[in-house]
Amino acid sequence: MTDFEPMPTDWERALAVVAHPDDLEYGASAAIARWVDEGKKVVYLLASRGEAGIDGIPPEECGPLREAEQIEAARIVGVSEVEFLGHKDGVIEYGIPLRRDIAAAIRRHRPELVITLNYAPFWPGGNRNSPDHRNVGEAVLDAVGDAGNQWIFPELGLAKWQGVRWVAIAGSPNATHAVDVESSLDRGVASLEAHRKYLEGLGPGPMSEPNVFLRDFARQAGERFGGKPAVAFELFPA
């Protein structure tokens, strides 16, 4: 395997767009903490409130709970702006409404880097990826182009934004770049631990122990990035 390239650093603003509360905390948040430490501005955009994510807790109770956990998780890594689009958890559809919502956020926040989650059919290791992740990831790629075309979604009343330079995919089976998170991994772990009710709902198992598996993921990525703990991304030029 080839070594990872360093992620670009010559940018000031990023928008992280994912389907659910907790998606960014499965690794990416440690990199985000590092970037915030360096003075960069990162905003979170969640397609849903995760209301269908905890077995045994009805959606009307679960949504506000998970929203609060996400806001706390973001605070831990220095992110103060968290927006929720309100698409229905579990059945998020790829289509014009989702593309419009994401394009609007890109035009408002004017990021140079857009971050999203693996949208491939499978995770590394072979587990099937969820429809929500797949649909949101595809919509993000398309919304980057939409945001830069003044004739697409003119009803938004927002100036076009053609300044997105890269799209970074966290959790990708085809990662190409990485970020050294030796100084920020503790906060990345703590940010996932902030999703307390969600983790309790998973029950016993490796994925409910962030301090173990996140450090293991970072160690594995670091083996291809100079030996230090790292978070890997697949990086596309926009």
Q: Which two tokens stand for residue 220?
A: 């594995």
Residue with tokens 């229905």: 88
d(CA 181, CA 237): 23
Among residues 6, 81, 79, the alpha carbon closest in space to that of 231 is found at 6
pLDDT at 17: 98
d(CA 16, CA 33): 13
Give the pairing type, strands 82-84 and 41-46: parallel
Give, in order, the Cα–Cα distances in Å from 51 to each of 17, 22, 191: 17, 12, 19
d(CA 167, CA 140): 9
| Cβ(62)–Cβ(48) below 8 Å | no
User: In the 8-state DSSP scheme, what is residue 111?
Assistant: -
Segments in the chain forming alpha helices (H):
28-37, 59-76, 96-109, 131-147, 185-193, 196-202, 210-222
Question: What confidence tens digit (pLDDT) does each residue in 115-128 have?
Answer: 999 999 998 888 89
d(CA 71, CA 84): 10
Mean pLDDT, residues 164-175 taken together: 96
Give 27's pLDDT tier (boundaries 50, 70, 90): confident
pTM of the model: 0.97
pLDDT at 221: 97
For CA atoms 24, 27, 31, 33, give the dihedral sign: positive
d(CA 200, CA 202): 5
Please name each of the domains of the chain with its CATH number: 5-237 (3.40.50.10320)
Question: What confidence tens digit (pLDDT) does each residue in 63-103 have?
Answer: 999 999 999 999 999 999 999 999 999 999 999 999 999 99
Burial class (CB in 10 A: 0-12, 13-18, 19+), 205: exposed
3-state secondary structure of 122: strand
User: 223: Cβ–Cβ under 8 A, 6 or more apart, which residues?
Assistant: none
Give 205's pLDDT tier (boundaries 50, 70, 90): confident
- Mean pLDDT, rounded, of the chain: 96
